[in-house]
Amino acid sequence: DAKTTQPNSMESNEEEPVHLPCNHSTISGTDYIHWYRQLPSQGPEYVIHGLTSNVNNRMASLAIAEDRKSSTLILHRATLRDAAVYYCIFTTQNFVFGPGTRLSVLP
């Protein structure tokens, strides 16, 4: 199974950047790194994904280490609405989720 390691919880202040780390030391060369988040009382939603290069979209940025054994999801300015559980997974086919990181955003 594809396993990742993330901190159980993190805290951030509103309007400040947040860096959510993920270790995926068993990743293979063809596995993509995906990030999802789950807001309270909702199903998970896609955030971003990448293979080797850093990626940006309207929601976040994804920084991938050169050896691909770790990555960081960057929320440039955290808002209260970003409080959620963030999941990092790597996969070519099947999607197996870990416990994720619960992000709290303080006003």
Partner 1 sequence: EAQVTQNPRYLITVTGKKLTVTCSQNMNHEYMSWYRQDPGLGLRQIYYSMNVEVTDKGDVPEGYKVSRKEKRNFPLILESPSPNQTSLYFCASRSGTVNSPLHFGNGTRLTVT
Binding of residue 90 to partner 1 (CB under 8 A): no
Q: How many residues bind partner 1 (CB under 8 A)?
A: 23
Stretch that binds partner 1, among 18-26, 56-64, 74-82, 84-92 (CB under 8 A): 84-92
Binding of residue 87 to partner 1 (CB under 8 A): yes
CA distance 65 to 83: 25
Structure tokens belonging to residue 73: 């999801």
Least separation in angstroms between residue 102's CB and partner 1 is 10
**26 or 30, CB closer to partner 1?**
30
8 A C-beta contact, residue 98 and residue 87? yes
* Residue of 59, 53, 49 whose CA lies nearest to 84: 59
CA distance 25 to 38: 24
Chain residues binding partner 1 by CB under 8 A are: 1, 30, 32, 34, 36, 42-46, 49, 51, 85, 87, 92-100
